[in-house]
Structure 1
Amino acid sequence: MSTLDTSSTGLQALLSPGTARSAVLPVVRQRVSALEPTLARICCYHLGFTDERGDPAGAGSGKLTRAALMTTAAEGVGLRPEDVRTQAAALELLHNSTLVHDDIIDADELRRGRPAAWKVFGASLAILAGDALQALSLQMVVDDPGPGRAEVSSAFAEALRLVLSGQSREFTVRLGSGADIAAYDRIVEEKTSALLVCALVTPALRAGRPERVLAALRGAGRHLGLAFQILNDVEDIWGDPAVTGKPVRGDIRRRNPSFPVLAALAADSPVGERLRGLWHGDGTAAAHLQEMADLVEESGGRHTAERVSRGHLDSALEHLGRAELAPAASAELAVQFDRIVNRTT
């Protein structure tokens, strides 16, 4: 593809999720298939390319959210989607490495509606598969000969460092007694926002855009991650498993202090006190979890979470407006931001 249709209609057709999928998935499949055979089999299963026997499968491979953001941001800074295709594929691999590891850490048995990789192949091999995806991701950006290679490689390494830091910090908050919104925000900025920031800034780094543009894109990614994660926490408690691909109330069962819970626990009321007592107990029966969910909602935790998520989305769009991107690409990114946070089609 040598030219881009920069009209709004043409851009939407070019950079639809299906287009990002067709551009990036072949790269992902090719690179993962070249891994050591056992690791390749596990990674291909996790990505939905194959079933547990290694036969072709029609399972979903994810929404390629970060790849779509990166290819759209590329047009915004005067690049073509193929100019960042390798980086977009690498970021999807890095993201999926965190999913493989998260499922093990959280003992989540389902991923995208089917058994998680660790349930099929065992935790030890799944850990190695996640590590292999991380190494492959970094190798892809380091080996790419395009402009801004050093800066992009540094951005990927920093994103990985932040994700690992956030994962470690989450254990401290989960087990400690001082969990609050500020601690929650920091974890989300590291675990979730870091990869979204990487998706948005990578094209600007390749295009040599100035620091003010990078700062605006970093701000957009930071707030987008917070908006997404807070609403994702709402879905964990009250969402539809057919949409999320996981059973509801996993965070409550693990006593993982998600945003609605933190907001509810902060409420100075008898309801908040009742919730606090149940939270520090060890009940995991369905009725116990349902009661906690009801108390979170009665305490205003759900309403507060939805309101704060909307505020972060508005802030993300404000930062996006300061990023000096081509208007059509900026408009398409705004649509993608809403789709990410609200799971709109």
Structure 2
Amino acid sequence: MTTVLPPVLLTAREAVDPVLREAIGRLDPDTRRVCEYHFGWRGVDGTAEGGGGKALRPAMVLLSAQCARPPGAPDHAVAAAAAVELVHNFSLLHDDVMDGDTSRRHRPTAWTVFGRPAALLAGDALLSLATEVLLGSSSPHAAAAARALSATTRVLIAGQAADLDFEHRDQVSLEECLLMAHDKTAALLACASSIGALTAGAPQDTVVGLRAFGTELGMAFQLVDDLLGLWGDPEVTGKPVLSDLRARKKSVPVVHALNSGTSAGDRLRELYAQPGPLTEQQLREAADMVQRAGSADWTRQECRRRLDAAAEHLPRGPQDVTEALTSLAEFVVRRKL
């Protein structure tokens, strides 16, 4: 049984999709084709489909604006929501190429269909469109929002660079791994959780509180993702079981185990150091070593701690908005393992 999506995600998707489609419609036909496939709007043959992501980040943008916008004030947040979603998908297109992932959202990744160069160019195009869409907003704070999103993109790139660097290193500390998780995932959720308030001209303390909320939520999100990368149901994740271990990713639970000083952690290090692909039996053994090192339990506890910290940072706002933000936070950690 899959987790039921909070209604606010469906509302956000309905609000942001027309803006995304209009922006991507400006691209040249070849690049547009790759982007429309990646978003799940069209199949390989160009036929219309009804796919797409969960719209978590656009929902955060729209709710953060509602948290801060005075009654009757104009809503400038949809453009910001679309811009954040464009940056997110830029990162997915590039990450899939760099990580060699062959499946996303239960379909072949764009690079496996159209080739690596086309997928990289499509990602570049989405990043360019993000700034264009945001600066095209009528918000008097659009320039400040664009600077915030650009700075976040720089942090996101640093996180991906660190993730790639870890693949070639035998020793990675837990502190380094948590910083990578912050940069690669939490930074964009922090931006999504605050940029809507920024476009609404919210007070600085409100923007800072929402950013802190998003940072902690983003860390919880990545920790759940790391657990899913080890034990997630392919029907839910859209990726093969034990996918992170196949790629010998140094995710948070893996790095925790490697630094645990336990016999299980030592055995996991031996498996990771082995030349050539791991067999199915060795993959199952590696997953068991993460469990035996206590790293799965630690990751779950850390995820809950981050979620509690997020709630503490949530600024006061309209009750329905606060409840919606809290519902999204709980949804992040309820994703099925």
Shorter-normalised TM-score: what interval?
Answer: over 0.9
Aligned residue identity for 2:62 = T
Alignment of 1:168-183 (within 5 A): 168-183=161-176
1:316 partnered with 2:307: no
Choose which of 61, 66, 69 in structure 1 pairs with 2:60: 69
Distance in structure 1 (CA, Å) of the matches to 2:253 and 2:241? 14
Distance in structure 2 (CA, Å) of the matches to 1:62 and 1:193? 18
Choose which of 318, 324, 327 in structure 2 pairs with 1:335: 327
> Which region of structure 1 is more displaced relative to structure 2, 37-46 or 77-86?
77-86
Choose which of 42, 46, 53 in structure 1 pairs with 2:38: 46
SS at match of 1:175: coil
| Residue 182 of structure 1, CA deviation | 1.0
Distance in structure 1 (CA, Å) of the matches to 2:138 and 2:297? 48
| Residue 113 of structure 1, CA deviation | 0.5
Aligned residue identity for 1:200 = S
Aligned to 1:226: 219
Task: Give the TM-score normalised by the residue count of structure 1.
Answer: 0.91
SS at match of 2:76: helix
Residues 1:47 and 1:81: Cα distance change in structure 2 (over 3 Å): farther
Say if 1:74 and 1:81, in contact at 8 Å, map to a contact too.
no
| Residue 81 of structure 1, CA deviation | 9.0
Distance in structure 2 (CA, Å) of the matches to 1:36 and 1:232? 34
CA RMSD of aligned residues (A): 1.8
Task: Give the TM-score normalised by the residue count of structure 2.
Answer: 0.93
Distance in structure 2 (CA, Å) of the matches to 1:324 and 1:209? 13
Distance in structure 1 (CA, Å) of the matches to 2:179 and 2:171? 14
Distance in structure 2 (CA, Å) of the matches to 1:57 and 1:82? 30
Aligned to 2:283: 289
Residues 26-58 of structure 1 deviation map (CA, whole Å, 9 limit, x = unaligned) = 111121122111000000000011001111123
Distance in structure 1 (CA, Å) of the matches to 2:216 and 2:55? 19
Aligned residue identity for 1:277 = E
Aligned to 2:49: 57
| Residue 298 of structure 1, CA deviation | 1.3
Say if 2:87 and 2:130, in contact at 8 Å, map to a contact too.
yes
| Residue 209 of structure 1, CA deviation | 2.2
1:17 partnered with 2:9: yes
Aligned residue identity for 2:205 = R
Aligned to 1:6: none
SS at match of 1:17: helix
Distance in structure 2 (CA, Å) of the matches to 1:212 and 1:195? 19
Alignment length, in residue pairs?
329
| Residue 285 of structure 1, CA deviation | 1.8
Residues 1-43 of structure 1 deviation map (CA, whole Å, 9 limit, x = unaligned) = xxxxxxxxxxx99x62221111111111121122111000000
Say if 2:24 and 2:35, in contact at 8 Å, map to a contact too.
yes
Alignment of 1:174-193 (within 5 A): 174-193=167-186
Aligned to 2:230: 237
1:113 partnered with 2:113: no
Residues 52-100 of structure 1 deviation map (CA, whole Å, 9 limit, x = unaligned) = 1111123x20001111111112111126794211111111111111111
> Which region of structure 1 is more displaced relative to structure 2, 28-37 or 279-288?
279-288
Aligned residue identity for 2:278 = T
Say if 2:75 and 2:200, in contact at 8 Å, map to a contact too.
no
Choose which of 113, 116, 119 in structure 2 pairs with 1:123: 116
Distance in structure 1 (CA, Å) of the matches to 2:151 and 2:316? 24
> Which region of structure 1 is more displaced relative to structure 2, 158-167 or 170-179?
170-179
How much identity, in percent, do the aligned residues show? Answer: 36
Distance in structure 2 (CA, Å) of the matches to 1:267 and 1:197? 30
SS at match of 1:50: coil
Q: Which runs of 5+ in 1 are unaligned?
A: 1-11
Say if 1:228 and 1:340, in contact at 8 Å, map to a contact too.
yes
Deviating above 3 A after TM superposition, structure 1's stretches of 4 or more consecutive aligned residues are: 79-82
Aligned to 1:269: 262
Aligned to 2:150: 157
| Residue 146 of structure 1, CA deviation | 1.2
SS at match of 2:167: helix
Aligned to 1:210: 203
Distance in structure 2 (CA, Å) of the matches to 1:270 and 1:198? 40
| Residue 252 of structure 1, CA deviation | 1.3
| Residue 275 of structure 1, CA deviation | 1.5
Aligned to 1:145: 138
Say if 1:49 and 1:61, in contact at 8 Å, map to a contact too.
yes
Say if 1:220 and 1:319, in contact at 8 Å, map to a contact too.
yes
Distance in structure 1 (CA, Å) of the matches to 2:269 and 2:162? 22
